Amino acid sequence: MIFLQDAICPALEQRSLLCQSVQQAHKEALSIVNNITGYHSIIQTRHKTNNQWTVTLGDNLLFDLTGLNAIKEAIDSYQGSSRQLNFKLRLSPQAIRDYYSHNIYLDKNGLIELPVTATKASIHNNADTDKQETLNITLNELSTSIIYPLALTKPDLNNTPLALLIPFSCDHDSLFANQIALFSQLNYCLRKQIIRSPMLWLKVLLSRRKINLKQKLSLAWKQIHPRADIHHTAVIEGSVIGEGCRIGAHCVVRYSVIGKNVQLHDGAKLEYSVVDDNSWLMHDLVLYRTVVEKNCFLIHGPYQFSYFQNESAAFANIMMDYRPDNKPIRINTPHGIRDYQGRFLGALLEEGGKVFGGTLTAPGVTIPKRQEISCDIKNITTAKNLG
């Protein structure tokens, strides 16, 4: 079986997955699942035809290694005689709501159509040569009960897929893909790396925290580049810290990935977030379930369920991420206005977008590329006003 993705769509060329370009992240996953290295090896596999499945991935599919393995398992378990297979994703209603409810590939039956085709070459004539079948893929999910304060909303269940398979339909899919990839990567590391570390097990056994063993393991695991500068009071749990980063006093980085040369000033706190190269997070800023691309600048906050594309910035903006009327959050996409059914969604700042102090942005709003949003000049106190 060979997996092929000849290119990625233009909309993904500037996007990233866990601080890697989408193209590089895909290339590494394909290399592992195909058990090959190098472009020429991929080309050579195209000529292996007899009774072998060739899996063609659409240029808009976002995936990771675990997602590819899920497709592979579905094909390996197939017992039919069709030579072409199509695929749909079947997930829990909670996972659909939080990660796919806005997606144009979600059908009326609650299944996600994947831009994936598997074709089997055979030297034998077969009556089913032109027959096609559709396989439904299910993914393992991490299910977490969240007991919100009743002043905010009623208790809820969060289900996150532990493998990445998202057909890209708008920029919000990059936000959701990174969220899924975070959990997928941590789960992969738990299974493949963490359980083999005697020092990690010793740390877990000595821990007095009143949480279950899996939580202790996931929090104890971390990857910190030797050339990162971490203050001794900082807390790093279940996270990756890249080369040249500076993590200031009393910072907290939990279940997050940080790229190269990122500056976290004293007191900054991250959970379930991705911060790419050369970005600055200023003092006491809070980031939760948010993706920050390269060369961004954020101050004040908190910024939750939001997406900052390259070279965007937020200066003491109030970024709403919740509708108290429980109506769907409406988002702008290339396919028109779409309803997002999840409970929380912040702003999306396109490349170079900026929001300045005193502004209030609605849930799910998109700030266009290079546009700057500021409050009315009449509401700014100046020396001239004080006369």
Residue 221 has pLDDT above 60, yes or no: yes
By the 8 A CB rule, do 333 and 102 touch? yes
Average pLDDT over residues 294-323: 95
Look up residue 373 and give its amino acid.
I
Task: Tell me what the pLDDT averaged over the chain comes to.
Answer: 91
Residue 330 has pLDDT above 70, yes or no: yes
Q: How much of the chain is helix, strand and coil, in % rounded to 5? A: 25, 30, 45
Residue 87 has pLDDT above 90, yes or no: yes
Residue 42 has pLDDT above 80, yes or no: no
What pLDDT is recorded for position 236? 96
Residue 6 has pLDDT above 60, yes or no: yes
Identity of the highest mean pLDDT range in 31-35, 111-115, 140-144, 184-188: 111-115
Residue 267 has pLDDT above 70, yes or no: yes
Quick one: pLDDT band at residue 72, thresholds 50, 70, 90?
A: very high
Which tokens hold the place of 53? 């499945």
List domains and CATH numbers for the chain.
2-183 (3.90.550), 225-378 (2.160.10)
- 127 against 283, higher pLDDT: 283
From 43-52, 88-97, 105-114, 289-298, the region with the lowest mean pLDDT:
43-52
Residue 342's φ and ψ, nearest 5 degrees, are -65, 160
C-alpha–C-alpha distance, residues 302 and 92, integer Å: 30
Residue 37 has pLDDT above 70, yes or no: no
Quick one: pLDDT band at residue 39, thresholds 50, 70, 90?
A: very low
User: 334-343 pLDDT, tens per residue?
Assistant: 999 999 999 9
Cis peptide bond prior to 161, omega within 30° of 0: no
- Concatenating the DSSP letter of every residue in 247-301 gives E-TT-EEES-EE-TT-EE-TT-EEES-EE-TT-EE-TT-EEES-EE-TT-EEES-
Helix (H), strand (E) counts: the chain? 8, 36
What pLDDT is recorded for position 32? 94
Which tokens hold the place of 78? 């197939």
Residue 46 has pLDDT above 70, yes or no: no
User: 112-122 pLDDT, tens per residue?
Assistant: 999 999 999 87
By the 8 A CB rule, do 261 and 244 touch? yes
Closest CA to 26 of 54, 47, 55, 5: 5
Residue 48 has pLDDT above 90, yes or no: no
pTM of the model: 0.92
What pLDDT is recorded for position 40? 45
Average pLDDT over residues 169-179: 98
- Concatenating the DSSP letter of every residue in 16-81 gives EETTEEHHHHHHHHHHHHTT--SHHHHHHHTT--TT-EEEEEPTTEEE-HHHHHHHHHHHHT--S-
